[in-house]
Structure 1
Amino acid sequence: MDFSQKFQYILDGKKVDTPLVGTVTTAGILDLMDISGASRPEADSDPKKMAKLASSLHTIAKFEVIRIPFDVTVIGEALGCQIDSGTKARTPSVITHPFADKPEELEIPTDLLRRGRIPVIMEAISLHRNNPGLQVPLVAGVEGPVDLASYLLGIRSFLKLTVKKPEIAKNIIEKCIDACITCANAYLFSGADAVVIADALSSPEMIGPDAFRLIVKPGLIRFNENIEGHSILHICGEVDSIIPDILESGFSAISIEENVKDLKYVVSSAHRNNTAIIGNISTSDTLYRKKPENVRKEAFQCLDANIDILAPGCGVAPETPLKNLLAMIKARDDYIKKMARVITLKYVV
């Protein structure tokens, strides 16, 4: 199987002989910008540069699964948030919250797909899909409903609603889910192999497990009932307490951080549900500041836990050295060789 076939096989809940290596979280690093000639912030708004920088994750970093865009503010911008476009080393960020004082006025416009940078993402996906020399699966990212709600209302305002007025918070989440569905289907139609919802504030450390079940989970279920392809969910932090709820939400795969308390529990629970697990090498510590031998050690731990796609646990910092991304590929290859030797010795003995 080629990379795309293997990726689809994994997301169908089936096992493969060799785990893929790649990313479903943001990974626009400075080394790749310098080598490819496609730098941010231009690569965040120019489809050709976006596609070129994304392709460098495969052609230069050797990843077998790649992702665009390189930030998680696209839908928020399209719905009226002002964005600081950032710099080469700093990702875009939200600087205004258009519905902070009037959450009841939030509506998803019918022309959403023509707003902001959404058309840029769609074109970049099409450019990737129509590049005959780049046969590697592409994942398109959308910000999740809680993150999107926090952009539109402000973090404090929205989190306060989840406690004091949960029905209003749930209504806002449902509208944000509408936007997620619209964009996800547009990205899939443009040629993405899967879509990933990245929702940092859905973490139990932020919104709490009870609020997740009451307010967020119904929307995630509806998201998966209404999209036309494979889906992945990424939530930051210790997600152990909400793993059963995530698995009931219908995603093809879950992307997890290194902060999960019990990786084997998460992996085994997911596999019983025919759900793939992606992750979970530390981005803020191992990939960002340590050496390739540390990457190798952590990668082996992930592979020992039977992870399906070896990947960064979260968004990769721009200053992350390229050698540490390349170390992920080498670690996977070395692990497979090691296991082959173990099996050979077992049968010889």
Structure 2
Amino acid sequence: MISTLEELLPEAKFSKQPSGGGTPAGVRKHSSQSSAAVVYDDGHGKAALSVSLGRQNPEEVAEGDLACPDKNFTPFETCSATTLTDGPRLVLFKGWEYPDRREETRWWYADLLTPEGYRISVHEWNAPAEKGAGVSRPAPPLSLDRMKGLAQAEEWRPLLASLPEPEASAPRPPAPEGLSGDTILSRLTELLPEGLTVKESGKQEAEYAYVVVDDGQGKSFVQINIQPGMSDVAATLFGSDAEVLDDGTKVVTHQGPGEKGGAGVKMREVDTIRPGGLRVVISAFNAANQNEAASREEPALPLDQLKKIATSEVRLG
């Protein structure tokens, strides 16, 4: 794999990655996957570069298998996800190794999945290692077009074919308990006060959803978790100072700096648990997401509005 990778790259000096780097040095194999990594030096600064090859059952390959990440959780410069004319699914991504940009390590990749179940992922950084090494050049060495060509290279085919056939799929796990993300997102949107415009939204399969709202003074990220069966944490999270409502719901509030992200981020949070163990937590930020600096003075929703949403009716059935 290393020799094939080096042959496909533009002429440069190659070396092993420094110890402590996040990307594996040399070649690693496990089950139906193999990976290789080198340090590439074209005279403009050393760069970590890696490729991984894998196989999966063709019947499991779906058009949506490869997609761009949610930008509110994984910020990026550019990302595209397309289905090529001959069937493969391709993602081209330009972003950062650290979502909060605490270091300017750039991470670019091309990820290709063919209808036969072959997957080729090529990654590059503007540092000698994925993590633990200082930035050595302004950007990774290869353009996304060059990365696309590298992922599509026919030279990988014999290596892919030599990988063990993937094992039979394990039974699909049961759906998570609790409300679906779609239901939570719909309910959250319904309960937002007038004067807010939803700019973006997203959700997980179950228990979580978010919206990015704007009241004309800047974007504000609002997220909600609805978790059943949480009675075992009630004593830990809801002490004697918790407010107890008439129906037995316990409520605590928090205000302070955001746990992640850029300068000046403030968070307001209302955490509730109902007598049956249903926990509803909602928080609002004065930023468009948790990885960026503040975009407004205060979160768009005050604590009393967050409390109203958190204690509203929840229909699990």
Q: TM-score, normalised by structure 1?
A: 0.20
Q: Which has the higher helix share?
A: 1
Q: TM-score, normalised by structure 2?
A: 0.22
- Larger relative contact order (CA 8 Å, sep ≥ 6): 1
* Structure index of larger Rg: 2
